[in-house]
Structure 1
Amino acid sequence: MLPESNAPSPKLQFPQLFSGMLALAIALVGSAYLAGNALRSLRSNDNLTVIGSSTRPIRSDFVIWRSSVSSQQATLPLAYQELKRHSDKVQAYFKSKNIPKDAISLSAIDTQPIPETNGNGAQTGRTIAYRLVQRFEIRSKDIDAITAIARSSTDLINDGLPFISEPAEYLYTELGKLRVDMISEATKDAKARGEAIVNVSGSRLGTIRKAETDVFQITARYSTEVSNSGAYNTTTIDKDIRAVVAITFAVE
């Protein structure tokens, strides 16, 4: 059964100051500007909104690999017979690689009539051939094994099969357990940054008056990719997950 995608939830409303400026906002806290006159002018009963973030490395624990074979012949029976031979060879290959049968899903056969066209490119109403496609989907927690098999599947092409392998998709299924912890860490980071700011102004950080979370960013390891709608990288096994919060504190 395919796990929940854990794709980032729709973006919550985020203060305009931070929207679309995530990377810049994270870097701003340490800049000279934050130690300037704006900080020294903080007064009691002011509000201070601070960005906090938390980043963790994660390794994908689930892989989806899709592939297909096709056949094109003048009649449906001939196309089906050829497609079945191709499909049997692919399944025999999967079996030889010790892929469990329950990890393999076969789609319904996709049938595409090929119309005849005249010299002007207009269809004549006759069908000159049929193209059939059988798709396979493998879902597994054995990341390394399926990755290796996908890479070696060119053996099927070398055997003369019209085999198409799609890039594997790598997912992480334990995001729900991480989200709460990462929001907590990001909140602590925001508080530490806020205290650093008010200490320069001679004030004290008070209670939290407002807290908002931005969408999670799941990117390739060490990537600086950022998306306002949230990023979810599925092309790499090793990833980074980043949580960002905007915390508004009272200034005392």
Structure 2
Amino acid sequence: MDTEQSARSLAPAGVLGVCLMLGLIVGGWLLGSQIKATRLADRYVTVKGLVERTVKADTAIWPVTFKEAGNDLPAVFAKSEADKNAVLKFFSGQGIAPDEITVGQIQVTDKLANEYGGANNNGPRYIVQQTVTVNSKNVDKIAKAGQQTAELVQAGIVVGGGYGQGIRYVFNGLNALKPDMITEATKNARASAERFAADSGSEVGGIRSANQGVFSISSADAGSAAGDGDGGGSADASMMKKVRVVATVDYYLVR
């Protein structure tokens, strides 16, 4: 009888012990899994994926600025108007449509009215300046016309040089290229991550973080380092453009 009572009193203790043992086993397994996951979370590789495309400009912008100077304002203005008509005639002869041409405002400078000029304002009193700008989608036509500017010189028109002059070629189709280029850049980045993982005996997991990078448009001409914000010259003078993006991706490494 005493033996049966002892067995009954020990049964709950045994069940409790088994439960405690199972709890310790499960808890240890969960803790081990968390530690392993934490360690794996610290294992990742940063790679870059580069994509470049060569494209042709889709817009040509050509400002032609000319000046006339003299002491008789009406006469100077008349000369400037004659220059404008000669420029418009030149553009028309090159097959440039009127709706591709914009005539800017006339700028008149009276050197005697310049309070900062003083006695150093020698030469003609009045300077009249005008700008006629071509904006065309037919870049080949504008490029060909740009080779014929000697005709303006022969007509006695002094075309202004300096900053902002000359033909600028612009590419406006970047938004259409972005999705495919980003996809390709990400694919190239993963390929780099897989090569690294293979060398280290690991496998590539999911993406930890990603930065698609900044798109840049530069000249595609050989030897040119011009680009958006590069400071290496102007890419606008080149009809062919190089579109470039570098995606930076962090991939988890497993195993």
Deviation at 1:128, TM superposition (A): 5.5
Calculate the aligned-residue CA RMSD, in Å: 2.7
Task: Name the CA distance, whole Å, in 1 between partners of 2:224 and 2:47.
Answer: 21
Query: Is the Cα–Cα contact under 8 Å of residues 60 and 167 in structure 2 kept in the other structure?
Result: yes
**Which amino acid is 2:241 matched to?**
K
**Which amino acid is 2:160 matched to?**
I
When residues 207 and 185 of structure 1 are mapped into structure 2, their CA distance, relative to the original with a 3 A threshold, is: same
Gaps spanning 5+ residues in structure 1: where?
Answer: 1-42
Corresponding residue for 1:164?
A: 160
Structure 2 residue 234 is the aligned partner of structure 1 residue 242: no
Structure 2 residue 105 is the aligned partner of structure 1 residue 108: yes
Where do residues 1-252 of structure 1 align in structure 2 (5 Å cutoff)?
A: 44-45=40-41, 46-115=43-112, 122-123=118-119, 129-164=125-160, 166-221=165-220, 222=222, 225=225, 229=229, 233-252=235-254
Query: Is the Cα–Cα contact under 8 Å of residues 84 and 132 in structure 2 kept in the other structure?
Result: no
Residue by residue over 1:114-170, the C-alpha shift from the partner in whole angstroms, topping out at 9 and shown as x without a partner, is: 2399xxx84389995110011011011111111111120111102222223632111
Deviation at 1:248, TM superposition (A): 0.6
TM-score by length of 1: 0.74
When residues 98 and 85 of structure 1 are mapped into structure 2, their CA distance, relative to the original with a 3 A threshold, is: same
Bigger Rg, structure 1 or 2: 2
When residues 107 and 158 of structure 1 are mapped into structure 2, their CA distance, relative to the original with a 3 A threshold, is: same
When residues 126 and 148 of structure 1 are mapped into structure 2, their CA distance, relative to the original with a 3 A threshold, is: closer
Query: Is the Cα–Cα contact under 8 Å of residues 66 and 160 in structure 2 kept in the other structure?
Result: yes
Secondary structure (helix, strand or coil) at the match of 1:184 reads: helix
Task: Name the CA distance, whole Å, in 2 between partners of 1:83 and 1:59.
Answer: 36
Q: Name the structure where helix makes up a greater proportion of residues.
A: 2
Q: Using CA pairs below 8 Å that are at least 6 residues apart, which structure has the higher relative contact order?
A: 1
TM-score by length of 2: 0.74
Instruction: Work out the percentage of aligned pairs sharing the same amino acid.
Output: 25
Corresponding residue for 1:26?
A: none
**Which amino acid is 2:177 matched to?**
L
Residue by residue over 1:4-26, the C-alpha shift from the partner in whole angstroms, topping out at 9 and shown as x without a partner, is: xxxxxxxxxxxxxxxxxxxxxxx
Task: Name the CA distance, whole Å, in 2 between partners of 1:60 and 1:138.
Answer: 15
Deviation at 1:239, TM superposition (A): 1.7
**Which amino acid is 1:114 matched to?**
K
Task: Name the CA distance, whole Å, in 2 between partners of 1:228 and 1:103.
Answer: 26
Task: Name the CA distance, whole Å, in 1 between partners of 2:54 and 2:122.
Answer: 57
